[in-house]
Amino acid sequence: MQRLIDAFFNSVRAFRKLAASEKAFQQELMLLVLALPAAWFVSVSWRGYALLIGAVLLLIMVEVLNTGIEAACDAFSREFNVDIQLAKDCGSLAVLISVVIVAGVWGIALIERLTGFPI
């Protein structure tokens, strides 16, 4: 049980650090705050609501992992290194893919809501 408690406090520490200093994380938190009520009006079911919010949470999760990759790379070396560049670029690509997923999920939900036809 102590391990779970420690993990919780480590997570809270990371959340506070990212919320205070990482612009992308701050923007995605604002997106989540806006998505919570918007998804209520866009979705046609509880499952749809969960999917809309889950997509935004997925984006935030990938951003957190990308930030972790960048921090680990920077701790190793701040000098240019082809392998470090690839690691950072792959993290950035993962975030981009997540953005595409969010846009797709929300786009489909909006089409369903506006047309009344489930896709």
Q: Rounded CA gap, 102 and 29, in Å?
A: 14
Of the residues 39, 52, 63, 105, only one is catalytic, namely 63
Residues in the chain: 119
26 is in an annotated binding site: yes
Residue 112 among the catalytic residues: no
Q: Does 17 show up as a binding residue in the annotation? A: no
Phi, psi of 81 (to 5 degrees): -145, 130
Please check if 24 is assigned to a binding site: yes
Q: Which two tokens stand for residue 112?
A: 């369903």
Check whether 38 is labelled as a binding-site residue.
no
Which residues are within 8 A (CB) of 101 and not within 5 positions of it... i.e. 6 or more apart?
A: 55, 58, 59
The annotation status of 3 as a binding-site residue, yes or no, is yes
Q: Detail the residues annotated as belonging to a binding site for ATP.
A: 3, 22, 70, 88-89
Q: Detail the residues annotated as belonging to a binding site.
A: 3, 22, 24-28, 63, 70, 88-89, 92
Active site amino acids: 63
Q: Detail the residues annotated as belonging to a binding site for substrate.
A: 3, 24-28, 63, 92
